[in-house]
Amino acid sequence: MSWPRCRTSLYFSGTNLALPARVKFESWCAVAGVLLLGMALIPSRLKGWPLTTSTIYLGIGMLFGPLLAGKISLSPFQNGELLERLTEIAVLISLFTAGLKLRSPLSEGKWKIPLRLAFISMTITVFLIAIAGVFGLGLPIGAAILLGGILSPTDPVLASDVQVEHSGDDDRLRFSLTGEAGFNDGTAFPFVMLGLGVLGLHDLGGLGWKWFAVDVAWSIVGGIGSGALWGYLVAKRVIHLRARRSEAVGTDDFLALGLIAISYGVALWLHTYGFLAVFAAGLALRHTEREVSEKSAENHAPSDATGAESAPISETMKVPEDDAGVQDLRDKIATHPDSAASFMAREMLHFNESLERIAELGLVVILGGMLSRATWSVQALWLAPLIFLVIRPISTWAGLLGAPKMSGARPYISWFGIRGIGSLYYLFYATQHGLSQELARTLTALVFSVVALSIVAHGISVTPLMKIYNRQTQKREELKT
């Protein structure tokens, strides 16, 4: 990849994103500044409104896209490789963030719900969308399966409003949706490969043995295993360096990016699914932190002999009054044996959440800007409601048969199947692997339209529905007490 020293053109592996000379660099800085400032100010204004930031970003893109059409050439067909990489990076950041949020022990029964949703429900979703593709859209079987694989995963980037809010959030609904989005952005890959294989663009092996052995079994297990190993090793090493030697302090942003990159790169070298590896790396790091923190907490338990309890670190440090004192306090917390692990995980999570918001802003605005007659499908007006109102409820109901009770969360899980950046990534991945121009345009129009409709429909409904859910949850808690 080469980056020419030129303000007016951006080249990405043969892809030309042209910015004419008449569009000055300072103008682009001003536009970016307005978007970023709006990103900082809009969320506080939206509290209580039936809107999400993604809905606003989509509207901004749709509003300004036609105005900039003559000034910037960005096409899902001509710039597919660039868009594939941008969406890929956004999904990786979001998957690692999702992993860091899920602190509950893997032995807890509530993990059964996201696993069922990510494996059973998603498989059913692919099958039902494929049926709709064959009989409703007239697609070849391979293209219909591919469409099912592209549109089946729920999105970790745009679903932050219904995900776990912090590591201590044990709400069943939020936990299930976060875990589902983390897993199924990787478990959708076998179906994308199956669709490409049926179209003759990927080797499935005789009777599909290679697809099952490599694309399903090895790629899933290997991806999760390699990512978990890297997350565990990095967490243990950094905690040791900080707590024992006071080293590697203040590098949490580099740790986050480095762990994402190495777990993803190694997974791809091993021909496994990098998305699952990155999610597993975040999970492993967080669970290693939890184990270390719990062992440290045991040291503060009253002694059987004396009843004495050692003071936690928060009670032994005074709040400083100047910047230097604040930094010194942060360094002490980062290196104290009782807090080094939790501080590391918390700082990495905060950094990743910031990256996630920037990625959401950029990609949803780009999506809105690319929506036009060439990337809009009238058929999505019936396909999207079919997915949201029929296929999603059926697949979640079937996937959760026999699962533990969820205290009224199931209807909300049936609705909050948000499609977004993950689907865009799989679309661009497929278009870069030999799809015919006609099929690529058909799938692009369908996927763009369904994702845009999902952003609007779920964005409008998330605030009022979550208010209702929170009230119901509060009433149940009051009845228990």
Q: Exposure of 274 by Cβ count < 10 A (0-12 exposed, 13-18 middle, 19+ buried)?
A: buried
- Residues with Cβ within 8 Å of residue 95, at least 6 apart in sequence: 156, 182, 185, 186, 275, 278, 279, 282
pLDDT class for 238, splitting at 50, 70, 90? Answer: very high
Which residues on neighbouring strands pair with residue 12, listed in sequence order? 15
Highest mean pLDDT range out of 30-34, 109-113, 189-193, 474-478?
Answer: 189-193
Backbone angles phi, psi at 18, to 5 degrees: -90, 130
In whole angstroms, how far apart are CA 118 and each of 164, 275, 400?
17, 13, 11
pLDDT class for 273, splitting at 50, 70, 90? Answer: very high
Which tokens hold the place of 368?
């809105």
How many helices (H) and strands (E) would you count in the chain? 19, 2
Task: Please give the pLDDT value at position 275.
Answer: 97
- Residue whose pair of structure tokens reads 């997915």 in the numeric block: 387
- pLDDT at residue 468 tops 60: yes
461 or 50, which is more confident:
461
Task: Please give the pLDDT value at position 440.
Answer: 96
Query: Can you tell me the mean pLDDT for 247-266?
Result: 91
229 or 65, which is more confident:
229
318 half-sphere exposure, CB direction, 13 A CA radius: 4
Task: Please give the pLDDT value at position 69.
Answer: 59
Backbone angles phi, psi at 58, to 5 degrees: -65, -45
Out of 151-155, 158-162, 435-439, which region has the weakest mean confidence (pLDDT)?
A: 158-162
pLDDT class for 253, splitting at 50, 70, 90? Answer: very high
Q: What is the pLDDT of residues 294-333, one digit of tens each?
A: 887 666 554 444 344 444 454 455 555 555 666 677 777 8
**Domains of the chain listed by start with CATH number:** 81-300+315-480 (1.20.1530.20)
- Residues with Cβ within 8 Å of residue 112, at least 6 apart in sequence: 403, 404
- Residues with Cβ within 8 Å of residue 244, at least 6 apart in sequence: 337
pLDDT class for 480, splitting at 50, 70, 90? Answer: confident
DSSP H or E segment with residue 441: helix 437-480
Q: What is the pLDDT of residues 108-131, one digit of tens each?
A: 888 999 999 999 999 999 999 999
**CA–CA separation, 239 vs 250, rounded Å?**
13
Q: What is the pTM of this model?
A: 0.88
Instruction: Identify which of 149, 151, 81, 426 has the alpha carbon closest to the alpha carbon of residue 275.
Output: 426
**CA–CA separation, 23 vs 160, rounded Å?**
35
Question: What DSSP assignment string belongs to 64-93?
Answer: HTGGGTTT----TTTSHHHHHHHHHHHHHH
- pLDDT at residue 419 tops 50: yes
Task: Please give the pLDDT value at position 52.
Answer: 84
